[in-house]
Structure 1
């Protein structure tokens, strides 16, 4: 017998299922992370039945979202797409999705073809998350094979909605090149007039193109270096700060890849490029917003080091009991691309998503037993006590110092 549809606070005025809120996503993430890291805790506490019920309710909501992607109402379809996106960004749903892969792919295809603007953008983002969930096997390849022609048509269609065109990241490098090269400055230094929405599209195309650079063959990279490295610096003069930053990071990435192939790689316009990068790293242009200049300076200091010295400012990402070092521009571009789609769920996916762990060579997911989790909690409590004691000591010392200042003043 089909399960009776329950009325709850997530249903709209017409009974349509609404997407998860940020609070719901946070609760679901914490709940699932807890069960992942401590699989025995629920059973030990006698809560296995409630956990099963919660899982059943969660899957029921997901099925509702899938059904709602074919609703006549565009608003309902949008809500369903967003609900599925949130769920895939915050939980590992491989088994559930695998059984419904074709249905979800058909829904994405339908929304891309018949939807407008935001709906197409959400459908394209969902396609990326679907592939992240399915991993690098034949299932993802079939999703790509089905949707790639649609993405290419949207990218090539100048009359298509800008929001839809900038969301597609699975088309070919040639498609992306045809977009971001339109932002190149002319040889005389002038630019084609571009509105902010189109500039954002070109920026996203450049970043997607840069991601594909990380998996190119040596011969492909040689052709790309010859064709684009002399032209990409023109994007550093763009009025759009995000385009300038994307161009700078892509240039740093290309230099890293070129030096990996040839340690003695040389660039003919190296001095001129370094001058441009240095100017952006110390930008004092009064016509630019302070926040833009601050963000730009930080990025271009790193880009300048990459071009001049082959250096990279490494960063450590901590997740659960593990840590990962972002130690190259290749790794950074890959990490940023995943984080764009899974958002706040990135640390969870680093712990539990086999595909993402394989990309970053982290090995199989670690299963943490209840004893380890308990030890971690004790450690945190001890740190709290230590921090509290240190805070009290600082407060006491400062109080004595203030008293002495008063005494001196009175003296």
Structure 2
């Protein structure tokens, strides 16, 4: 560009504009059409936009979730056996992670028919997945009285599968858990038949010296299911209480799961008999206590290290209760609440629910009315109450700072003692 034709500098234009504005009068400089925006209106509009965005996100997530669940339910009727199994597993994962009884209520007959069809004609993995879904379905709909008809339809099929020797052991094991949960939740008249079925299975352990691990898993599942149902009946009118000799034989099993479930049954049985009068015949003798003491201090090298650790930890608690009548004192924190288990019956019910729900147990303890009723957690906490109980960031920082200061003082004293010992 030639030197004589330079563009004017922007700063010059701005100054010139300001000069022109200063030459105007107040009346001329005021614009009637100019809008006035306050900081309050800006902040309010931002909050409204954020709330709307959050609601839109939640609605989109719910729509995507419902679409995924609807596709999985539709997949239960496809021709491919592998596809049906994957659909069963997908629904099980959703039922574990979310509590949606209202959504399931209108589709319960479709799901129950698919479960029954899979248990009768499905493959090995499909039957196991269908039995899992039966357990989760009754947990989801357990608080709704209208589901009792669905329970009756599934119970007969599940009992038939458990009795069928040709069915794979894994499917029969899952069916034992489903029968126990359906009977326990619905409290129907089939509890005697279910207990007799489970008893016929686990009593085979008394006459079997060597069994495989898969067979032991089936029998231990039957024994665990029988223990859960046994905790709901009146012990005085029961004629199927195992003797101490039978329990001692079960404790001699070479399989860890059988020994663990037997220990749980011993605590539930003693807890029920000690609450009644004139039932001292079920108090263990010295020989039986010595066997429990051996299991609590077992150090046999031919057993896995993890198995020995798990066995010793559980049987120490059992031994304390048998000898000293000390009930369990277990506290589990979930969210802003704490579950306290001070009876063996309550612990047994919690363990069975954990076995069915897996990683979704904490969510169901927070949201599921049935689970909260079983574990005596009371009504659900209000969301505003949960937010009010939550500590602020400043409070957490102050607590952490105080803990850090106390920890530093304690470590300093320990260091001083070490130096004095070295000198």
Normalised by the length of structure 2, the TM-score is 0.78
Cα RMSD, aligned residues only: 2.8
* Conserved 8 A contact 2:273-2:282: no
The one of 40, 45, 51 equivalent to 1:45 is 51
Once the two structures are superposed, residues 275-314 of structure 1 have per-residue CA deviations (whole angstroms, 9 ceiling, x without a partner) of 1101111112222222111111111111112222322221
* Distance in 1 between residues matched to 2:48 and 2:304, nearest whole Å: 52
* Distance in 1 between residues matched to 2:72 and 2:327, nearest whole Å: 43
* Distance in 2 between residues matched to 1:201 and 1:52, nearest whole Å: 43
Q: Secondary structure at the match of 2:136?
A: helix
**1:125 shift after superposition:** 1.1
Aligned residue in 2 for 1:28: none
The one of 195, 207, 212 equivalent to 1:173 is 195
User: CA 1:166–1:215 in 2, change beyond 3 Å: closer, same or farther?
Assistant: same
Once the two structures are superposed, residues 101-124 of structure 1 have per-residue CA deviations (whole angstroms, 9 ceiling, x without a partner) of 100101111111122222211111
* Distance in 1 between residues matched to 2:274 and 2:170, nearest whole Å: 36
* Conserved 8 A contact 1:117-1:162: no
Q: Secondary structure at the match of 1:88?
A: helix
Aligned residue in 2 for 1:362: 377
Q: Secondary structure at the match of 1:193?
A: coil
Q: Is 2:234 the counterpart of 1:212?
A: no
**1:229 shift after superposition:** 4.0
* Distance in 2 between residues matched to 1:42 and 1:216, nearest whole Å: 56
* Distance in 1 between residues matched to 2:259 and 2:59, nearest whole Å: 50
Aligned residue in 2 for 1:72: 79
* Distance in 2 between residues matched to 1:42 and 1:259, nearest whole Å: 61
* Conserved 8 A contact 1:90-1:345: yes
Once the two structures are superposed, residues 53-76 of structure 1 have per-residue CA deviations (whole angstroms, 9 ceiling, x without a partner) of 211111111000000111112221
Aligned residue in 1 for 2:219: 202
The one of 360, 371, 383 equivalent to 1:345 is 360
Where in structure 2 are the equivalents of 1:256-275 lying within 5 Å?
256-262=271-277, 265-267=280-282, 270-275=285-290
* Distance in 2 between residues matched to 1:176 and 1:230, nearest whole Å: 19
**1:255 shift after superposition:** 0.7
* Distance in 2 between residues matched to 1:350 and 1:200, nearest whole Å: 27
User: CA 1:163–1:93 in 2, change beyond 3 Å: closer, same or farther?
Assistant: same
The one of 259, 281, 299 equivalent to 2:296 is 281
Once the two structures are superposed, residues 340-388 of structure 1 have per-residue CA deviations (whole angstroms, 9 ceiling, x without a partner) of 111121121111111111112222211121x75165140x552245325
Once the two structures are superposed, residues 305-352 of structure 1 have per-residue CA deviations (whole angstroms, 9 ceiling, x without a partner) of 222232222111222222221111100000011111111211211111
* Distance in 2 between residues matched to 1:144 and 1:234, nearest whole Å: 35
Q: Is 2:387 the counterpart of 1:373?
A: yes
Aligned residue in 2 for 1:386: 399
* Conserved 8 A contact 1:116-1:161: no
The one of 101, 106, 112 equivalent to 2:113 is 106
**1:230 shift after superposition:** 3.2
Q: Is 2:286 the counterpart of 1:301?
A: no
Q: Is 2:210 the counterpart of 1:193?
A: yes
Q: Secondary structure at the match of 1:224?
A: coil
Normalised by the length of structure 1, the TM-score is 0.80
* Distance in 1 between residues matched to 2:348 and 2:234, nearest whole Å: 17
Q: Is 2:343 the counterpart of 1:328?
A: yes
The one of 117, 130, 154 equivalent to 2:161 is 154
Q: Secondary structure at the match of 2:333?
A: strand
**Residue segments in structure 2 that go unaligned for 5+ positions in a row:** 1-46, 181-193
**Residue segments in structure 1 that go unaligned for 5+ positions in a row:** 1-40
Once the two structures are superposed, residues 228-282 of structure 1 have per-residue CA deviations (whole angstroms, 9 ceiling, x without a partner) of 4431221101110111111111111111111122276333752221111011111
